[in-house]
Structure 1
Amino acid sequence: MVNETREIVKEFVYCLIRGGKMPPILYYLPPSPPCRAIMMLAKMLDMEFDMKVVNILEGEQLKPDFVELNPQHCLPTVDDDGLVLWESRAILAYLVSAYAKDDKLYPKDIRVRALVDQRLQFDLGTLYARMGDYFFGTMFMGAPLDETKKAKLLEALRWFEAMFKKREFTASDHFTIADLSLTVTISQMEAFGIDLGPYPKIRAWFKKCKEELEPYGYEEINQSGADALKGMLESKMQNK
């Protein structure tokens, strides 16, 4: 009862701060890599969400009210006063644009922003996608690991390594949302057992990003989620 009262008071105060608007709603599942990126960004922006867990392992994303909200029924999904967004990288860009005090995480300089956007798309369409192709069939359904898919994943890592020729971060001389999204992907790969030894530039960048994110829940949000998915993968592999 006390905790519920505190939450009500917190939401009321937040509502007053935002001029009467309620905090955005985040539909999420804690171990999900894209959800972890959104949760860490919220801490970086010092913003509150109304957090609603949707357990995809129990099919809760297929409930009619959620499908009505998001026909693609994927996570994370954000509802900010009627603006409904899914795809975590689009959500990252929106939240920084809407709530950040400055543009450091998503620079307005069109050339820098173009690089941030490209790196986000590389993560979505190539690096994270190839990680999922290799591991997720095993993690969710117990399918055998396909070594041809591992080769494609390692190819993507070589491409990523090559992106650090001119800078220490992925798109700028400082940390941006591209680094946030890619850090989550790389951390999940490492948890799954991918050896980062052959990629010294990625390892140096990854160390910097972990230090950047340490005050914003890296261990309790990101690493714990990566370890949870690692446990799911190992369980499926042991039961094969």
Structure 2
Amino acid sequence: MTIDLYVMNLSPPCRAVLMAVKQLNLTVNIKQIDLRKGEHLTPEYLKINPVHTVPTLVDDGFALWESRAILQYLSSKYGANTSLYPTDLQKRAVVDRTLNFDMSLNSSVSTAVTMKLFRGTEPTEAQVKSFQSNLKTLDQLIGHNKYAAGSALTIADLSLVATLSVLFATENKELKEVPNVVKYYEGLKKELPYYNEVNGGLAEAFKQF
């Protein structure tokens, strides 16, 4: 079995997949892709992923991109006896729903927070409001629960934690308005033994970028 994983560590979706790999105790070949150098646009990479995004997984010749699809695939194939992606259809639907919500959250974090850091682009008022709304909605959805999509750790938690890590690394002021999110994030940060290995040094990395 040969698994290659193409990533850029600053990317939350990439780090979500990296955490899943750790949680599943998989051995993979990590291949760093430098987007600034255009490594995602080379003919070799485009043969694997024609939409030139990261992360991209190649499992024994089977190529798959989009982080949430990768999370679902890996947990279905290699984590059938874990809580990561329940086999019960209703429980799985809750995980899928949370993953889809995280997609919206990650997009709003990108437009309202990350683009300013990377490109110096100021977000519009609408983008800021969308980000604030998504974050407050997450705060309500989580409530006092330990996990976001059920009574045990799932791939939805890994995806959410990766997204939220950007806000904590940049000390985003909106975190003061979402105490449930803060408690949830800090709890998972302590629980996941690989958290710092995958997500450590983000604040410094953002500054250098």
The residue number in structure 2 matching 1:44 is 23
Cα distance, 1:147 vs structure 2: 4.1
Which of 115, 122, 126 is the aligned partner of 2:101? 122
What's 2:121 paired with?
143
1:67–1:226 CA distance, 2 compared to 1 (3 A): farther
Residues 141 and 200 of structure 1, relative CA distance in 2, 3 Å threshold: closer
Q: 2 CA distance for matches of 1:102 and 1:162? A: 30
Contact 1:31 1:224 in 2 (8 A): no
Equivalences, count: 208
Could you tell me how far 1:226 is from its partner in structure 2?
A: 5.1
3-state SS, counterpart of residue 186 of structure 1:
helix
Q: Is the 8 A contact 1:66 1:73 kept in 2?
A: yes
Q: TM-score, normalised by structure 2?
A: 0.92
1:155 is matched with: 133
Tell me the alpha carbon deviations over residues 159-178 of structure 1, each in whole angstroms, 9 at most, x when there is no partner. 11111247431110111110
Q: Could you state the TM-score of these two structures normalised by the residue count of structure 1?
A: 0.81
User: What per-residue deviation string (whole Å, max 9, x for no partner) do you get for residues 166-216 of structure 1?
Assistant: 743111011111011001111111222323122121122112211221x12
Q: Secondary structure, in 3 states, of the residue corresponding to 1:92?
A: helix
Find the counterpart in structure 1 of residue 55 from structure 2: 76
Unaligned runs of 5+ in 1: 1-20, 233-240
1:32-77 deviation line (CA, Å, top 9, x unaligned): 2111111121111111111211110100100011111111000000
Q: Name the aligned partner's letter for residue 142 of structure 2.
A: F
Instruction: Give yes or no for the alignment of 1:223 onto 2:203.
Output: no
- CA RMSD in angstroms comes to 1.7
Contact 2:144/2:180 (<8 A) preserved: no
Identity %: 37
Q: In the TM superposition, what is the alpha-carbon distance from 1:93 to its structure 2 partner?
A: 1.1
Matches within 5 A, 1:164-203: 164-165=142-143, 167-195=145-173, 196-203=175-182
Change (3 A) 1:166 1:143: closer
| Change in CA separation of 1:119 and 1:62 when aligned onto 2, cut-off 3 Å | same
User: Which amino acid in 1 is paired with 2:184?
Assistant: W
Residues 26 and 78, structure 1, Cα contact 8 Å, conserved in 2: yes
Tell me the equivalent position of 2:34: 55
Q: 1:48 to 1:121 in 2, by over 3 A?
A: same
Q: Does the 8 Å CA contact 1:29/1:55 hold for their aligned counterparts?
A: yes
Q: Residues 161 and 230 from structure 1, CA distance in 2 versus in 1: closer, same or farther, beyond 3 angstroms?
A: farther
**SS at 2:95 equivalent:** helix
Superposition map of 1:1-40 within 5 A: 21=1, 23-40=2-19
Deviation at 1:94, TM superposition (A): 0.8
Please say which of residues 129-138 and 176-185 is displaced more in the overlay.
129-138
Matched, 1:67 2:46: yes
Q: Which runs of 5+ in 2 are unaligned?
A: none
Question: In the alignment, what sits opposite 1:14?
Answer: none
| Residues 1:86 and 2:65 are matched in the alignment | yes
